[in-house]
Amino acid sequence: MGPGLHPRTGPAARVRTRVEIVARPGPGGRTVLPVVRSSGQLAVRRTGPATVHLVATAFGPLGGDDAEVTLVVEEGAHLRVRSVAAAIALPARGDLAPSAQRITASVAGTLDLGLEPTVVAARAHHLAELTADLGAGGVLTATEQVLLGRAGEDPGRWTGTVRVVREGRPLLHTTVGLGPGEPAWLPPVAPRAYASTVHIGNDEADVLTGENAVRLPLPGGWVTTGWGAELHQVLRAVEALGAPVRVPA
């Protein structure tokens, strides 16, 4: 068996992961979670008054695996979503299908979504999608961190799409493709590390640039993007362009 490969093959071997979390305002300004469901490769643990962590129950994802995360934050509620460790997207033997993670969020309250990095191993292709529907008072902060390839190996391929709508009005719809096979990823402009934060609330921001990073204004917020060779350097560059207020843990 080659490095980074696993013997699971065929459609029947693919893993479907489903997570559903509903945050609702409770007595005394607290947030309650009346719905917390998970199956497949992720479990959910409540780690603070308004914080949950996603915990991987198996390695991966592998090519062909599919994860759907549904988040509902009702008006007056707060939800902070984190993960315990980085996810490593791996190729499956004999299967060229990408792995996928799709997050759908309905936000009338405040959602802070900040998962640990996704590392895409050589020969793997991972699809990441975030679709957020915000109410009039909804506040969203969502951060994506990506690293192509583990130490000493070729980069994998990552395709990420973010769609944000507020009261039916599109605010952001962008797709970024990194790694071999992506049209815009051509040496010498071929970064292996990428990070982006979108923040939508009632804030305003101007255009701001840094070293391999940029912040662009959006109605009620902004989006920051950084790229480079090392993820820790990219994250510092993105954070330097503006750090939104986080939801208390």
Higher-pLDDT residue of 1 and 145 is 145
Angle among Cα 53, 56, 59 to the nearest 5 degrees reads 155
How far is residue 112's CA from residue 128's CA, in Å, rounded to a whole number? 17
pLDDT at 162 over 80: yes
Which amino acid type is present at position 202?
A: N
The answer for residues whose C-beta is within 8 angstroms of residue 36's C-beta and 6 or more apart is: 20, 21, 22, 44, 46, 52
How far is residue 121's CA from residue 183's CA, in Å, rounded to a whole number? 19
Q: Return the C-alpha torsion angle 133, 99, 191, 186, nearest 10.
A: -110
Query: Burial, 182: exposed, middle or buried (Cβ in 10 Å; 0-12, 13-18, 19+)?
Result: middle
Residues 173-186 have a mean pLDDT of 92
What are the pLDDT digits (tens) for 90-115?
998 876 799 999 999 999 999 999 99
pLDDT at 13 over 90: no
pLDDT confidence tier of residue 196, bands split at 50, 70 and 90: very high
Q: Give the torsion sign (CA, 177, 239, 249, 118).
A: positive
What are the pLDDT digits (tens) for 25-46?
999 999 999 999 999 999 999 9
What is the per-residue pLDDT for 32? 97
What is the per-residue pLDDT for 12? 43
Q: Give the torsion sign (CA, 71, 41, 87, 33).
A: positive
Q: What is the pTM of this model?
A: 0.91
Residues 148-161 have a mean pLDDT of 96
Q: Return the C-alpha torsion angle 143, 148, 149, 154, nearest 10.
A: 180
What is the per-residue pLDDT for 217? 94
